[in-house]
Amino acid sequence: MELISQNKVFDGWHKQYQHPSEVLSCPMRFAIYLPPNAAQGERVPVLYWLSGLTCSDENFMQKAGAQRIAAQLGIAIVAPDTSPRGDDVADEDRYDLGKGAGFYVNATQAPWSTHYRMYDYIVQELPALIEANFPVSASKAISGHSMGGHGALTIALKNPGMFSSVSAFSPICNPLHCPWGQTAFSAYLGNDRELWKQHDASELMKIAHGEQTVALVDQGEADTFLAEQLKPEALQAAAQQSQYPLTLRMHSGYDHSYYFIASFIEEHLHFHAERLFA
């Protein structure tokens, strides 16, 4: 790994690294916040944060204001990039497909399948890298925003027991039935809608029985993407069908921005801490 930058914050350290990814066949960047006790060598649990369309590792770390509470709670935060990057990586001249829009799936269709394997990167390669190189424990939670909220929910639902808890801000809850999801899934996964269901949080939550990862979702009622793209009502209906432990909170006046995330990130960190340290 190559250290790109580091900044001391609340007596912990925010660091950016680049590393060669075998899964994605390109260099990848991630950010990690190590709270003060981790900087002193104590092993701490990890919250993985997945960002949304057009974002990188920097958006959350610079805008969410999460480090102060993470430092107090003793939780590390890892923020990966949202897609593979590089001159050889396939792309499109649009914000919702290609670079910055990996959707946390393993693409099966050319030209995307060469590099776009964000599911395996988040589930396998990145946690192994973090646990091998930093003072963290095997305890982990996952969270995200928008496209990253979709990723956090689907990854937690597909891997029960891997994460102590999952949360999301303004997630894409039902990509089978929204333009963002239909654009990405048709390109990355082809036309088999049964395959799409394996990466749709509402479809997965309908059939989630046995071990279930407790979930918290916050959604702003003034979000301009709410009706067309996000569809939290589908997730709520799925949770009722399977008796899933989901708390969905709607917030008057809040939009899709990081102002919304910054307003409630402290509550999300405490939600995860209760389970990470249980």
**Catalytic residue list:** 146, 223, 256
Q: Give alpha helix (H) positions in 82-191.
A: 118-120, 126-133, 147-158, 179-189
At residue 143, φ and ψ (nearest 5 deg) are -150, 170
84 contacts 99 by C-beta, under 8 angstroms: yes
Cα 101 from Cα 277, distance rounded (Å): 33
Q: What does the block give as tokens for 156?
A: 């937690």
248 contacts 235 by C-beta, under 8 angstroms: yes
137 contacts 37 by C-beta, under 8 angstroms: no
Three-state DSSP at 165 gives coil
| 130 Cβ contact partners less than 8 Å away, ≥ 6 residues apart | 32, 46, 78, 136
